[in-house]
Structures are given as C-alpha cells and as structure tokens.
Amino acid sequence: MTTLLAMVAIGLTGGQANNIENYLQADLKDATLVAKIVKGDQKELAKINKDFGQSYRFSSSTIYFKEPFKMRAEAHVEESSVVYIINGAELLIKLTNFTSKQNLARAPGRRQTLLDIGILTPSLMSGLLDSKFIRTDRETGNAVFDLFYKPNMDDSSRNRVWIDKNKKYITKREWFNQWTRQLATFYYLNPVQINGVWLPTRLEVKNVDNVIAGVTKYESIKVNSGLSDSLFQAR
C-alpha cells in the first residue's frame, strides 16, 4: 500500500510539474522598472542579429508593463528622446521629430512582453504562446518548457525556458529563430520579491559563441502600482 500511495503521489506531482499554468505569475498586473545597461558589446551583440544591439545604445530606459499586452519604454540620448509603445498588436514609435505606427499581428516576435524580463503571465499563454513540457532539470529542479507562438501567427521561432518552480520566474531562456538556429541565451539573475511577485534584477545575454554580449540591471522596480491605461495609448 505504501508503494502504491507513493506512486500516486509521484504521478500527481509529475502532472503538476508538466503544466505551464503552475509557473505563471497570475498576481502581476503591472510593473515599472529602470533598465540600466552595464555592458553592451556591439560586435558581440551583432552576432545575435543585426538589430539586437540597438536597445543597448541607450544607457538607461524606463519601462512600463501592464496586463494584458501593454508596454511602454522611454529613453533619452543627448537631446533626443524615444518613446516605444505596444498595446496589443499595435506599435507606436515616437522620436523627437518622427512618429511611426505599425501592426505586429503577423510579427509576434517583435512584440515586447514580460517574457523579455523573465516572467510568464496567464495572458501570454492564452493570447500569444503555446507550451510543451520538456523535462525537469536535474541540476536545478527547474521545469523546462518550449514556448511557441500560436499556429495562426505564422512564426515558427521558439524559446526554451527554465522556470524556478517556487519563485515562478524564468532563470534561463534559449532563443531559436524560424530555421531552428539558436540565436542567444538569456540568464535572469538576482531575483527579488515585490508585492508577492518575484522578478529578476539582472539580465545577461550570451551569443552563439558563448560570449556575454550584453548585461542589463533592473532598478527602481514597482509592482502593481495601478498604472493608467493612458500611458499605453498607441496613437
């Protein structure tokens, strides 16, 4: 009987481990942070792709996220300012003397989300991504999943993520393009708990040569502060 009960317990635990729903940050409604560039090696970043290093040209930017699918980033370089807003699939880019509007419905890989800072939320898994359980990592105990865009989005790129089962944040992410080539590996480090939500405070990016190409530090983090929808008006 003891053996049978043990087998049942293992089976139940395994089922929970295989379900991405158990690793989502359901309590996160909005987040604000200041992203400061610690390292940005443009030569090494260019090995990821030709545009990847652009965001590392801003020494500091303020980023706002709100569920579902709202993001705003603000940065200043000398006398120029940049505002980058995503609301659903709508993108608005404002420069000092230039404005661009785009629809990213057919380009889901360009939609900046909480995944980029190491967090998964219910809206991401219901409206943008599907998942496949791969294994439980023996060394860390982290759950490993592959994340794919929804079939109707016509984008076969994917991410493989390692998720801390207790703190529910991504510790490592491997990024693959639509031709299955690995582009980069992201490491999410030094997590802190704010208003019941765990978030990493440091991001290190390695290119295909296993060289650290970029390092970002997250500061002044606020969670569930009640951000206004007006911040994310893409018009």
CATH code of the domain in which 201 resides = 2.50.20.10
- Which letter does DSSP use for residue 106 in this model? T
Q: Which of 145, 108, 144, 150 is nearest to 129 (CA)?
A: 150
Task: Report pLDDT for 1.
Answer: 43
Task: Report pLDDT for 179.
Answer: 93
In this structure, the strands spanning 60-66 and 143-149 are unpaired
- Chunked mean pLDDT (size 10), the chain, 235 residues: 40 64 96 97 95 91 97 86 94 90 92 96 96 96 97 93 97 96 97 97 97 98 98 89
CB 144 within 8 A of CB 135: yes
Domain residues for the domain of 124 are: 2-232
- CA 70/CA 64 separation, integer angstroms: 8
Task: Report pLDDT for 9.
Answer: 39
Task: Report pLDDT for 3.
Answer: 47
Task: Report pLDDT for 10.
Answer: 37
Name, in order, each residue with C-beta under 8 angstroms of 161's C-beta and a sequence gap of 6 or more. Answer: 120, 144, 145, 146, 147, 170, 172, 173, 174
Exposed e or buried b for every residue in 145-165, given b needs 16+ CB within 10 A?
bbbbbeeebebebbbbbbbbe
CA distances 43 to 71, 88, 207, 209, Å, are 28, 33, 11, 12
- pTM of the model as a whole: 0.90
- CA 113/CA 221 separation, integer angstroms: 16
Task: Report pLDDT for 12.
Answer: 40
Q: How many residues does the chain have?
A: 235
Q: What is the count of structural domains for the chain?
A: 1
Q: Which residues pair with 176 in a beta bridge?
A: 158, 182
